[in-house]
Amino acid sequence: MDVKIESSWREILNQEFEKDYFISLVNFVKEEYRTKTVYPPAGLIFNAFNLCPFSNVKAVLIGQDPYHGYGQAHGLCFSVRDGVDFPPSLVNIFKEIELDLGISRQGSGNLERWAKQGVLLLNATLTVLAHNAGSHQRKGWEEFTDAVISLINNKKENVVFMLWGAYAQKKGENINRQKHIVLESVHPSPLSASRGFFGNKHFSKCNDYLIRNGIAPIDWC
């Protein structure tokens, strides 16, 4: 199946694209976009991959669903487009960056700048109906993104996996802790951030690990 995705990902995921579940998923998603309002825009479904080729992956941040409000989602977990208000979880992410690294929050919540440095900003589900959280769960996206995580786990070394909340932690439960580092805490949502997200120091821990392994750190500004 011809999937419009960055070439290194197309090569490594080619067998996945031919599986029955993925073909069914594509047919479902196409019909949803044809008949309903779906986010992100269709051309940005694989934005996380297009901005962060497989060879560049240094860190993986796992989210759940795309944002389902108008103009927010653009294919990167936790990220919003330039000029869009920061959602509460993203506000808390930047609060922790300031606590951890002393870097003040930037004016934009667009995290493309992280993706281009090697942070794969991966939602478990890559599409969602407008104003309907979780509406495209259990349609095949989770199987696809499990395969992505498995390929990174198996084919790369010294990747930082940042797993915030029980959902992301379950998604990453098979990661090889001997080859990679897994940083876990509660989710940055306002419902949980004060119970262990603030003070987790994941951003400095990520960079310390990368530097120890001869890999350029991430500029988290």
The predicted structure's pLDDT at residue 2 = 79
The predicted structure's pLDDT at residue 156 = 98
The predicted structure's pLDDT at residue 133 = 95
- Once rounded to an integer, what is the mean pLDDT over residues 165-173? 96
- pLDDT above 90: percentage of residues in the chain: 98
pTM listed for this prediction: 0.97
CB 129 within 8 A of CB 67: no
pLDDT over 90 at 216, yes or no: yes
Catalytic positions are 65
The predicted structure's pLDDT at residue 1 = 75
CB 203 within 8 A of CB 102: no
pLDDT over 90 at 106, yes or no: no
- Once rounded to an integer, what is the mean pLDDT over residues 59-81? 97
Q: Output the six-digit token pair for 99.
A: 């606590």
CA distance 216 to 58: 9
